[in-house]
Amino acid sequence: MVDAWIQLLRAEASKPWTFLELGFWVFFTFVLVGFAALERKIALRNAYLMLASWFFYYHTSQWYVVLLIFTTAVDYGVGHALHRTSRTALRKLLLGISIVSNLGVLFFFKYAYFAADVWNDLTGFAWNPQPFWAGWSNAHLGTDFVEDVILLPVGISFYTFQCLSYTVDIYRRQLDPVRRFSDFAFYVSFFPQLVAGPIVRASDFVSQLYQPYTVTRAQFGLGLFWVVNGFLKKVILADFLAVHLVDRVFSQPTLYTGWENTLALFAYTMQVYADFSGYTDIAIGIALWMGFTLAKNFNSPYKARSVAEFWKRWHMSLSSWLKDYLYIPLGGNRSGSTASYVLIFAGLFGLAWWAPNSWVSYALAALVLVFLVMYQFIPAFRRGFNTNVNLLLTMLLGGLWHGASWNFVVWGGLNGLGLVSYKLWSRVRPYRVEGWLIRGLGVALTLVFITFTRIWFRAPDWDTAMAMLDQLRTAWELAPSLAMLHAWWRPALVLSVGFGIHWIPERYKEQYRVRFAQLHPVLWGLAGVMVVLLAYQFMAAESQPFIYFQF
């Protein structure tokens, strides 16, 4: 018995806690017991939840919890210092400390190898970044850091953006700092959404820290619905499609026909949605049980009739963060800022230098010269460029946020081009009122485009992406065979059911959510048991990690 408890408390890198693990739900049960005991003592309650969240993160990323605490401490101190001073120069310096510390840590852990590859290609050096602290910490503190590889701490992109939004909002005088360190640390590390979002802003969450705990029966029922809904999405849709189709085809796309690659690509577009939205559904449900409200992160994105609408429905907390803290500061849709032009030209010249073939370098250099001439002498081009450059840059940097590789840059760039193209098309399209046929065509075209861009999002490297692209071209040459239909009918059926449920009108979804929340508690229990039994029929031998843990 004692050994079982020790095993539960011990963090293992190979077994991080997720919502699918029994250990997490045992942990959550104890958290609720302590939470109930302290519900009227708000300061103690928040400190308790801070410690519980740190313990959860320890079980997810082991000793990298120290990095989370460091980032939290820096931004807590910067926030109070910003609030106390009105000197412009000092305020800018303090904001710079927050930005450099947050992005510096994020850059080292997430982009060091990517930067080293680019630098080594440009200079011929052989820089190999190392976790310089690992050996000393292991020898003197008894930690177990890997000493020759920089591992990415789970959720670092999410809590870094939360901390940055906090200090920027205080700098803009849109927010007052949190009084107690434990309150701020609880906001940053709130365990249901810590490792995969949604990205929570202090302006939306901090006020909830000081409210008394109240959860109605309807709120509890709605929370249970979101937990069950997320669990089904993850296990029946995301994991089943990954194990039985997506992972097989993406590992070696040349072994499969163009039709099979097409099916796998559409299956992945459903997998990544079901996986990520399933996580946030469970996070929202757990938070509701604890009396906290998290922002909605997905709004049936595959109902979108354009790329612009898709990005208003997909990962909404990231989209709004990028708009408020990157797109608008770059100049928004008004003009190109100095930062915009520096990023554009640095990227073009960097690509020209890095390009493996001389003709590519010459072509990129020529593109820069043509741009300069057109920008100087064609006013219409200048206005159009100023309007769209920041949108493209925002999507490129959003792609890099997802991962440190050229694949993610291409994925972000394609989505940026899709946004700009739709923006231009919306000005010249010959219709303004959309009937059902136009709406359906818009949904289909948007889904196809978004799914196409996911080649670079999912492929492990550039060569695999190109191999899949080549295979997709052959899909139109041959009809799918009966053998192929027989081999893949199960994942195809699950995929069809997933899209069918996704496209149910929102008013009907709202109705059955409300009805579920109003059921008798006995029926809640029966529904929960039935869902778990159903899900375990689909579950693979080992649970699949949530996709966005890697970001």
Active-site annotation, residues: 402
Residues 6+ apart with CB under 8 A from 245: 263, 264, 267, 488, 491
Token duo for residue 319 = 């989209």
CA distances to 5, 6, 401, 518 from 2, in Å: 5, 6, 43, 41
Length of the chain: 551
CA distance 321 to 441: 30
CA distance 551 to 549: 5
DSSP 318-370: HHHHHIIIIIHHHTTTT---HHHHHHHHHHHHHHHHH-SSHHHHHHHHHHHHH
CA distance 397 to 282: 28
Q: Which among 316, 319, 308 has a CA at the least distance from the CA of 445?
A: 308
Are the C-beta atoms of 377 and 352 separated by less than 8 Å?
Answer: no
Alpha-carbon dihedral of residues 536, 540, 543, 545, nearest 10 degrees? Answer: -130
DSSP-assigned letter for residue 199: P
Q: Which among 407, 402, 238 has a CA at the least distance from the CA of 315?
A: 402
